[in-house]
């Protein structure tokens, strides 16, 4: 089976930095996505990593270590609007883009 | 252009009723996916279309679930004889290409409540 683990909930303060971890054990791997999902809304794309290392995109960065089955999403200069669920998803190498999602991490940013 | 749209946004059904959920993908997108998202969980894959061909339906929970995309654009997910465990948000996503690593773009979902 596929196993993707993320913390259920995290809290942080406005202006701070937070790191959301994701570990995975899957039967295939063709990259890892991070999505943001506000309550009642569609998941929106944040990042995609297929090679080891850090990808930086503005306030958000994502890291991947394939040998360790580990990724993290780093959010800097937190804003209230960053309060949302963050979904880690492994892209399986099934011949099409089959995504297997973790349960999501609910981030609450407080003033 | 417009993003992925889904209708209805909310659906309440009595147990045993049939429901049909519609997805309008981004125009020109080849790939279309359906996911089921239970409360507090991540989305779970249901089925995949490449144009009008349903290439994978391994995630459909039972034979009460049926999906189609007859003209390679709009898709409908049908659930027959709904049960309470079918209550969830049903998400549709589309992506431009076929078997690639293109990003999937999600619609807002249909929240189905079965009473």
In the structure, what pLDDT confidence band is assigned to residue B97 with cuts at 50, 70 and 90?
confident
Mean pLDDT score of chain B, rounded to an integer?
93
| Separation of CA A75 from chain center | 10
> Cβ–Cβ of B55/A44 closer than 8 Å?
no
Looking at residue B114, what is its pLDDT?
Answer: 97
Mean pLDDT of B69-74: 95
Looking at residue B21, what is its pLDDT?
Answer: 98
> Cβ–Cβ of B42/A104 closer than 8 Å?
yes
A44 touches B at CB < 8 Å:
yes
Mean pLDDT of B80-107: 89
List chain B residues with CB under 8 Å of A42. 3-4, 91, 106-109
Cα torsion B67, B68, B73, B76 to 10°: value is: -50
Give the C-alpha separation, B84 to B102, whole Å.
Answer: 34
A98 touches B at CB < 8 Å:
yes
Q: What is the pLDDT of residues A49-104, one digit of tens each?
A: 999 999 999 999 999 999 999 999 999 999 999 999 999 999 987 777 789 999 99
Mean pLDDT of B94-105: 79
Give the C-alpha separation, A47 to A2, whole Å.
Answer: 21
Q: Which two tokens stand for residue A84?
A: 């949302």
């Amino acid at each position: 089976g596929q196993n993707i683990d993320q913390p259920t909930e995290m809290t942080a303060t406005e202006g701070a930095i937070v790191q959301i971890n994701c570990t995975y054990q899957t039967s295939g791997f063709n990259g890892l996505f991070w999505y943001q999902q506000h309550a009642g809304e569609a998941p929106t794309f944040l990042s995609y990593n297929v090679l080891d290392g850090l990808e930086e995109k503005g306030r958000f960065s994502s890291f991947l270590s394939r040998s360790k089955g580990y990724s993290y999403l780093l959010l800097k200069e937190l804003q209230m609007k960053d309060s949302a669920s963050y979904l880690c998803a492994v892209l399986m190498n099934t011949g099409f883009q089959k995504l297997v999602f973790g349960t999501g991490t609910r981030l609450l940013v407080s003033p | 252009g417009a993003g992925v749209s889904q209708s209805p946004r909310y659906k309440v059904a009595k147990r045993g009723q049939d429901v049909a959920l519609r997805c309008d993908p981004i125009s020109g997108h080849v790939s279309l996916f359906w996911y089921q998202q239970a409360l507090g969980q991540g989305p779970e894959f249901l089925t995949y279309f490449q144009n009008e061909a349903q290439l994978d339906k391994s995630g459909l929970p039972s034979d009460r679930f049926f999906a189609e995309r007859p003209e390679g654009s709009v898709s409908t997910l049908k659930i027959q004889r709904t049960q309470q465990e079918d209550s969830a948000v049903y998400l549709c996503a589309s992506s431009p290409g076929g078997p690639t690593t293109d990003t999937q773009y999600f619609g807002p979902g249909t929240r189905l409540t079965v009473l």
